[in-house]
Chain A
Amino acid sequence: AQRVTQPEKLLSVFKGAPVELKCNYSYSGSPELFWYVQYSRQRLQLLLRHISRESIKGFTADLNKGETSFHLKKPFAQEEDSAMYYCALGAGGTSYGKLTFGQGTILTVHP
């Protein structure tokens, strides 16, 4: 079974401070991991995916298979980063394409 854990429901930082949103997963296969973001009054949207190894809006995330983690990081937070962030795990096999989401972390960046 797939499981995604985001241990922090709320995370507050000041503008310019580093931020790390934690995500741990449980999956016996080869994982595909994503971060989705939901800004206020907007729909859920893809932020980044581990397979692309990209940086979006200054955010990066590295898949650590040994620790089964996929933490989201940004060295200098901005006020516009305030949003709900969800970590999601993609399944393989017959469920290919299905995503399992964590409970989400609300990030607040104070001025």
Chain B
Amino acid sequence: DTGVSQNPRHKITKRGQNVTFRCDPISEHNRLYWYRQTLGQGPEFLTYFQNEAQLEKSRLLSDRFSAERPKGSFSTLEIQRTEQGDSAMYLCASSLTGTTEGGYTFGSGTRLTVV
């Protein structure tokens, strides 16, 4: 297990297209988080899962965004009808349930550019 893995590392898409990102968490971590980071800002919370259940979604997550975590393992984040404002780094992180003491383990992120 080499940590949290995110694919692809970079994605360039035309406005209006759909994109999907994948995150593979640390295998024993049952919580998985998605964050978005734009230039000059800290990571902003999007949504998180405990096992396969999506427990919370941010208001930032419009109806064009959908996230899944089938079988409580990897997760996908899909953005439909992309807009230029969706250009950002999308970060995935994982942790163990019931504590924030261990903190998160982050992936390297997927950088999305919408042209």
Which of the residues A46, A96, A97, A101 comes within 8 Å of B43, measured between beta carbons? A101
Q: CB < 8 Å: which of B55, B100, B101 contacts A99? A: B100
Chain B residues contacting A90 (CB-CB under 8 Å) are: 100
With an 8 Å Cβ cutoff, the count of chain A residues facing the other chain is 27
A59 to chain B, nearest CB (A): 14
CA distance A49 to B109 in the complex (A): 23
| CA of A41 to CA of B16, assembled, Å | 30
Cβ A103 vs Cβ B104 within 8 A: no
Residues 43-61 of chain B, each 1 if its beta carbon lies under 8 Å from chain A, else 0: 1110010000001100000
On whether the beta carbons of B43 and A98 are closer than 8 Å, the reply is no
Q: What's the nearest-Cβ distance from chain B to residue A32, in Å?
A: 5
Closest to B109 in A: A43
The residue among B44, B95, B104 with the most chain A CB atoms within 10 A of its own CB is B104
Q: Are A103 and B42 in touch, CB under 8 angstroms?
A: yes
CB contact between B40 and one of A49, A51, A100, A103 (< 8 Å): that residue: A103
A45 to B108, alpha carbons, bound, how many Å? 10
Q: Which residue of B lies closest to A51 (CB)?
A: B101
| CB<8 Å pairs between A and B, sample of 8 | A32-B100, A32-B101, A46-B102, A46-B104, A94-B55, A97-B31, A98-B45, A101-B43
Q: Which residues of A approach B to under 8 Å, CB–CB?
A: 4, 6, 9, 32, 34, 36, 43-46, 49, 51-52, 86, 88, 90, 94-104
